[in-house]
Amino acid sequence: MARRKTGIQGPQYFTTFQVAKLLGVSPPAVVNWVNQDLLKAHRTPGGHRRIAQDELVRFAFEHNYPLPPELQSAEQPVSWKVLVVDDEEDFCEMVREYLAIKGGFQVEVATSGFAAGLTVARFLPHIILMDIMMPDMDGFEVLHKLRSDEATRAIPVIACTAFRDPLIEKRIQAENFDGFVQKPLKLDVLLEVITSLKPLPDHLAK
């Protein structure tokens, strides 16, 4: 049975109290879901949690919570999943918040090449932003592992580095990354690069 299209235009965000009211649960339950990473939320500069409408709809569908008609759509929207791999935590959080708010993406971070492999297997990202210079395993090594696995070889990977070295840039081109952005990062440029990679392969767009 088709669900009604939402009449709300553009991104919308809810407080944990509003989410609790919409789902018919207590506010502490919502906070616990956020803390357990079951429900994605970002923090405002004042430290308050905000949950995007798409994320609320996703969570409600997955956990069988009824939603009011104005939040129901004809079908559950596909939310792009972006993995940010970088050993600078502040950089990761900046990119995470921007892409979640401006792009409406689900975003997770990995702060090492080793952690990236584990996160890819669990999170199944549609796109990866990959720092080239990391202490444990550099971005080239991580790319090789992704490309050698049939399950991950088609995931677009965007290289990112602060090093202005012609040899590194030449190697990035030779390794066939799907895009390249330079630090200090212009977030609007990153969003354009990600958007330019549409459409995704069919098996990743599910």
pLDDT tens column, 103-146: 888 899 999 999 999 999 998 899 999 999 888 889 999 999 99
Output the pLDDT for position 205.
42
52 domain-assigned: yes
38 domain-assigned: yes
Q: Low-confidence residues of the chain, pLDDT below 70? A: 1-11, 45, 72-78, 198-206
Output the pLDDT for position 116.
93
pTM: 0.61
Judge if 44 and 113 occupy the same domain: no
For the chain, how many structural domains are there in total? 2
Judge if 89 and 179 occupy the same domain: yes
Q: Distance between CA atoms of 88 and 76, rounded to whole angstroms?
A: 34
Judge if 42 and 97 occupy the same domain: no
Output the pLDDT for position 110.
95
Judge if 105 and 85 occupy the same domain: yes
Output the pLDDT for position 77.
47
Judge if 93 and 183 occupy the same domain: yes
Amino acid at 30: V
Output the pLDDT for position 169.
84
Domain of residue 150, residue span: 81-196
CATH no. for residue 85? Answer: 3.40.50.2300
Distance of CA 193 to the CA centre of its chain: 14
Output the pLDDT for position 140.
94
Output the pLDDT for position 10.
40
Any residues with CB less than 8 A from the CB of 85 and at least 6 apart, and which?
109, 110, 111, 113, 115, 116, 128, 129, 130, 131, 134, 139, 142
Q: Distance between CA atoms of 150 and 128, rounded to whole angstroms?
A: 16
